[in-house]
Amino acid sequence: MNEILKTEGLRKSYKKLNALKGLNITVQQGQIYGLLGPNGSGKTTTLGILLGVIKADSGSYNWFGKGQLDSNRRNIGALLETPNFYPYLNAIDNLKIVAAIKSLENVSERIEKVLKRVDLWKRKTAKFRTYSLGMKQRLAIASAILADPDVLVLDEPTNGLDPQGIAEIRTLILDIAREGKTIIIASHILDEIEKTCTHVGILKDGELIKEGTLDEIMLQEKIMKINADDLLALKDAVDRIPSLTFKQSVVDGMLISTDEHISLAKVNQMIAEEGVYLSELAIYKKNLESTFLEIINK
């Protein structure tokens, strides 16, 4: 798999605030990489540096193995924070400017294709200032895919959208991902990341504190949900088994954690040997939100 992006020791400070403290991330071709973190964790600063509009104090980044060339960005479609277009121009005129910057050919065909794809073709001659927030976001995505780039970088792509708008953008992103594009999404909306990303990097106070596939991030320890007729007896049994740890009581049972190599069958056997018979035993998959909060609050 080709390495699309690699950063090494990126640092950035604003006066006394250390926004980035030596960031190292790697994104491989075809990944949908979610850069996750609370507000102020350094997500936008990271993307700003990678897109050439913020200067890093130190460290480096490398796109496509070609370093930090301005021309690299012509093969990257990006939406950073807000959609930025000329309000007095319509969608077509705004996209013509993008096409000129990226030195594209067959401009009219490309514009028609992307505007149809984001469902803005009917509003192609309306001025940008008349668009709703959702339409502005969709035009930004149309602009990002105009050059059919290998990489999309989207910063908070569903910011301020209503549920329908969020669903539309998410569908669009997944459609684009199916074409084999590499997508980097920064967001603090965990549901959005969980539903779209294959890989996640979690930022906190300018540092990458976790990185991996979505499953790796969410299943760092094996958590099981168990239940029995006598919950007190079950709790005692769990406490007597050294390789099991009681986590918390939940509706209809309790959560326990085990070592990664212990199977469900083994857990069932160990508890049965303590004289308690399970009525329920299942791997408990946490959602990204609970995992994220655990990691961030550590």
Q: Which residues bind other proteins (CB under 8 A)?
A: 48, 51-55, 70-74, 76, 78, 80, 82, 84-89, 93, 96-98, 100-103, 143
Long-range contacts of 110-117 (CB under 8 A, 24+ apart): 110/146, 110/147, 110/148, 111/146, 114/142, 114/143, 114/145, 114/146, 115/91, 115/142, 117/142, 117/145, 117/172
Shortest CB 175 distance to other proteins, Å: 22
Q: Which is nearer to other proteins, 76 or 224 (CB)?
A: 76
To the nearest whole angstrom, how small is the minimum distance from the Cβ of residue 185 to other proteins?
16
Least distance (Å) between residue 53 CB and other proteins: 4
Of the pair 148, 230, the CB lying nearest other proteins is at 148
Work out how close the CB of 262 gets to other proteins at its nearest, in angstroms, rounded to a whole number. 49
The beta-carbon contacts of 15-24 under 8 Å, at least 24 apart in sequence, are: 18/205, 18/206, 19/45, 19/206, 20/45, 20/46, 20/49, 20/56, 20/59, 20/206, 21/205, 21/206, 21/207, 22/59, 22/207, 23/59, 23/203, 23/206, 23/207, 23/208, 24/208
Identify which of residues 157 and 253 has a Cβ nearer to other proteins in the complex: 157
Least distance CB 293 / other proteins (angstroms): 31
Between 18 and 82, CB nearer to other proteins: 82
Nearer to other proteins, 87 or 275 (CB): 87
- Give CA–CA dist 234/240, Å, rounded: 10
